[in-house]
């Protein structure tokens, strides 16, 4: 096990939120370490949207530019590794990586994202982020006016349908099992000519992630060019829970308006702490976390 120098701040996760936090801290001359394994959850997505100045660029292009800019600040260091555990000490925190290295810091910023849990549908994972999408704001415009499925049920399906209905007139809800809708919801669907099918899904036929047909367990098929899906997720790493951070009922890290978790000295930003899964939001919350961590460090020494 290799033990290294102490840092003022360790940022676990070096994608958009983590890099944004690091920039705020680097510009305040804080000694920062970013630990990142280079596997963001949107790495399969062909293009990122709804972020001013970067609309239409690949996720990799955006993160590469961001890392190059953050690297200009000499007090910020990077390590390509995967953080596996975290501990709280009387004087700060300790993070251990997969390679066995241990780093210590006064403050921790968790920018670890979330891990999507793929359903048992053949072809679903290959299409995720390409033609099976989660967010109409991020990707809906590119699939406007297409024949679209919505793989969801209950309140989540009702919410998504209201948004997607503005983007296409050819929308079908696939509940992938018995439907869970109130009569009022069914009336809304009928009024907007949205069909609801309860058939279970077996597979998605696609070409390099671009959907062609959805195959049902009864053997039937239907052509769709895109699908929205509401699927469960979990925290990417167990570090937030190990440090004592409380989670919301939905499974996000609980934070206040300044990205402070329920554990003093631990902040969280990006997808792990919000249902707003967008690059612009990750950058905004990362910037806030960085600024607030700098504020707490300043108050402790001034």
In terms of domains, do 44 and 137 share one?
A: no
Taking 80 as the threshold, does the pLDDT of residue 2 lie above it?
no
7-22 average pLDDT score: 97
pLDDT per residue as tens digits for the range 222-273? 999 999 998 999 999 999 999 999 999 999 999 999 999 999 999 999 999 9
What pLDDT does 202 receive?
98
Distance, CA of 237 to chain centre: 13
pLDDT per residue as tens digits for the range 93-138? 999 999 999 999 999 999 999 999 999 999 999 999 999 999 999 9
pLDDT per residue as tens digits for the range 21-44? 999 999 999 999 999 998 888 888
Does 39 or 177 have the greater pLDDT score? 177
Residue at a domain's end among 182, 214, 229: 229
In terms of domains, do 49 and 67 share one?
A: yes
Does 3 or 67 have the greater pLDDT score? 67
194-201 average pLDDT score: 96
In terms of domains, do 111 and 128 share one?
A: no
In terms of domains, do 143 and 157 share one?
A: yes
Among the listed residues 248, 264, 226, the one whose alpha carbon sits nearest the alpha carbon of residue 46: 226
pLDDT per residue as tens digits for the range 132-141? 999 999 999 9
What pLDDT does 3 receive?
56
Our count of domains for the chain comes to: 2
**CA 143 → CA 139, 164, 206, distances in Å?**
7, 10, 16
Half-sphere exposure of 36 (CA within 13 A, CB side): 24
What pLDDT does 137 receive?
92
In terms of domains, do 110 and 128 share one?
A: no
Q: Which of 21-30, 40-49, 153-162, 286-295 has the lowest mean pLDDT?
A: 40-49
In terms of domains, do 38 and 83 share one?
A: yes
What pLDDT does 5 receive?
66
Domain CATH for 171: 3.50.50.60
In terms of domains, do 173 and 184 share one?
A: yes
| Prediction pTM value | 0.94
Q: Look over the chain and give the mean of its residue pLDDT values, rounded to a whole number.
A: 95
Taking 60 as the threshold, does the pLDDT of residue 56 lie above it?
yes
Residue at a domain's end among 173, 202, 229: 229
Can you state the angle between helices 154-164 and 183-191, rounded to 10 degrees?
20
Q: Which domain holds residue 25?
A: 2-115+232-301
Name residue 105's beta-bridge partners. 7, 93
User: Beta-carbon neighbour count of residue 290 at 10 Å?
Assistant: 31
In terms of domains, do 60 and 189 share one?
A: no
What pLDDT does 40 receive?
83
pLDDT band at 7 (very low <50, low <70, confident <90, very high): very high
In terms of domains, do 34 and 20 share one?
A: yes
In terms of domains, do 225 and 256 share one?
A: no
In terms of domains, do 155 and 198 share one?
A: yes
Does 48 or 26 have the greater pLDDT score? 26
Residue at a domain's end among 183, 198, 229: 229
In terms of domains, do 44 and 88 share one?
A: yes
| Encoded tokens for 49 | 């949207």
Q: What are phi and psi of 190, to 5 degrees?
A: -65, -40
Q: What are phi and psi of 186, to 5 degrees?
A: -65, -35
């Amino acid at each position: 096990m290799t033990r290294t120098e102490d840092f003022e701040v360790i940022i676990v996760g070096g994608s958009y939120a983590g890099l944004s936090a690091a920039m705020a801290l680097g510009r305040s001359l804080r000694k920062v370490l970013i630990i990142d394994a280079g596997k963001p959850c949107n790495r399969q997505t062909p293009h990122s949207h709804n972020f001013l100045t970067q609309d239409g660029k690949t996720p990799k292009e955006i993160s590469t530019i961001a890392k190059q800019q953050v690297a200009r600040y000499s007090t910020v260091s990077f390590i390509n590794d995967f953080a596996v555990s975290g501990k709280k000490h009387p004087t700060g925190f300790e993070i251990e990586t997969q390679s066995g290295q241990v780093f210590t810091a006064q403050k921790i910023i968790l920018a670890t994202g979330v891990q999507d849990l793929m359903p048992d549908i053949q072809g679903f994972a290959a299409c995720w982020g390409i033609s099976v999408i989660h967010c109409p704001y991020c990707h809906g415009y590119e699939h406007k006016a297409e024949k679209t499925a919505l793989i969801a049920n209950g309140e989540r399906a009702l919410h998504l349908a209201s948004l997607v209905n503005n983007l296409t007139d050819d929308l079908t809800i696939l509940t992938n099992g018995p439907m869970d809708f109130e009569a009022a919801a069914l009336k809304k669907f009928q009024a907007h000519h949205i069909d609801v099918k309860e058939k279970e899904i077996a597979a998605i036929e696609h070409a390099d992630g671009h959907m062609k047909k959805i195959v049902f367990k009864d053997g039937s098929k239907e052509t769709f060019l895109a699908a929205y899906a509401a699927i469960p997720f979990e925290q990417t790493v167990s570090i937030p829970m190990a440090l004592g951070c409380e989670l919301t009922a939905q499974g996000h890290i609980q934070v206040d308006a300044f990205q402070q978790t329920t554990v003093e000295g631990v902040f969280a930003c990006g997808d792990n702490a919000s249902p707003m899964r967008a690059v612009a939001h990750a950058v905004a919350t990362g910037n806030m976390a960085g600024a607030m961590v700098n504020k707490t460090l300043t108050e402790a020494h001034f």
